[in-house]
Structure 1
Amino acid sequence: MIRFASFATTLAASALLAVSAASAGFYDAKPVAAPAKVSSITAGVMWKCADGVCTAPASTTRAPIVCEQVVKRYGALTSFAADGKAFDEAALAKCNARAK
């Protein structure tokens, strides 16, 4: 019985860790204007927006292309990051040039 309780506790902790990691997102984008929709699919990637930040899981597309797809959907961004690495000013400016 103790083994089962230990296993159940470990399983529950793993599930909570997976949920918190998923909510953080691989991509983080901060649009200049608050998005009208709280979620959308852009190029097959589900974006969820809350409190001025839009997040999405990892995709096979390169980060600069993902950024360009996001600005086409949400407009100019104040910041964009992929896997915790923020775009520098030049990369963000190039991305924002594609804004609608």
Structure 2
Amino acid sequence: MIRILAKSVLASAAILAAAGVSAGPRDTYVATPAAAPTKSFLITRDTSWQVRDGAYVATNAPIREMIACQLVARSAGALTGFSVNGEAFDGAELDTCNAKAKGGKAVAVKTETAQAPTN
């Protein structure tokens, strides 16, 4: 009886160890704001972001990468960098993300000047 129990425990331990090894690492999101963070944490929808070394870090956002970036930018302001699992957004992606930044993105408006009629 003890032998059967011992074998069952060993088999269970082996299964749990194999499951732990097969589970991949969690996604890591890092958002670096242009201005120093003023809060120690930030919550966007269902994601909690903690400040580490001047950047907001999350270990699993249940949304698309761009949406996660835009939500942080909307709350924290413009970002100078955003990466997922060590892969940084390129300039175009970061521009798209920052379009949703708190305070809005500065847009240059071209104004037409009306010429006065000559007499």
- Which 5+ residue runs of structure 2 have no aligned equivalent? 1-24, 103-119
- Which 5+ residue runs of structure 1 have no aligned equivalent? 1-20
Calculate the TM-score normalised by the size of structure 2: 0.61
Give the Cα–Cα distance (whole angstroms) in 2 for the partners of residues 72 and 35 of structure 1. 13
Contact 2:46 2:62 (C-alpha < 8 Å) held by counterparts: no
Quick one: which of 53, 61, 85 aligns to 1:51?
53
Calculate the TM-score normalised by the size of structure 1: 0.72
Instruction: Show the counterpart of 2:90.
Output: 88
Give the Cα–Cα distance (whole angstroms) in 1 for the partners of residues 38 and 74 of structure 2. 14
Question: What displacement does 1:51 show?
Answer: 2.4
Give the Cα–Cα distance (whole angstroms) in 1 for the partners of residues 53 and 61 of structure 2. 23
Give the Cα–Cα distance (whole angstroms) in 1 for the partners of residues 59 and 92 of structure 2. 24
Greater relative contact order: 1 or 2 (C-alpha under 8 angstroms, separation 6 or more)? 1
Deviations 1:36-65 (A, max 9, x none): 111121111110113211100112200000
Question: What displacement does 1:90 show?
Answer: 0.2
- Tell me the number of residue pairs that the alignment of Structure 1 and Structure 2 aligns: 79
What secondary structure, in the 3-state scheme, does the structure 2 residue paired with 1:59 have? coil
What secondary structure, in the 3-state scheme, does the structure 2 residue paired with 1:47 have? strand
Give the Cα–Cα distance (whole angstroms) in 2 for the partners of residues 26 and 38 of structure 1. 18
Question: What displacement does 1:75 show?
Answer: 0.3
What secondary structure, in the 3-state scheme, does the structure 2 residue paired with 1:72 have? helix
Give the Cα–Cα distance (whole angstroms) in 2 for the partners of residues 69 and 97 of structure 1. 11
| Identical columns (%) | 42
Deviations 1:6-57 (A, max 9, x none): xxxxxxxxxxxxxxx88xx710010000111111211111101132111001
What secondary structure, in the 3-state scheme, does the structure 2 residue paired with 1:92 have? helix
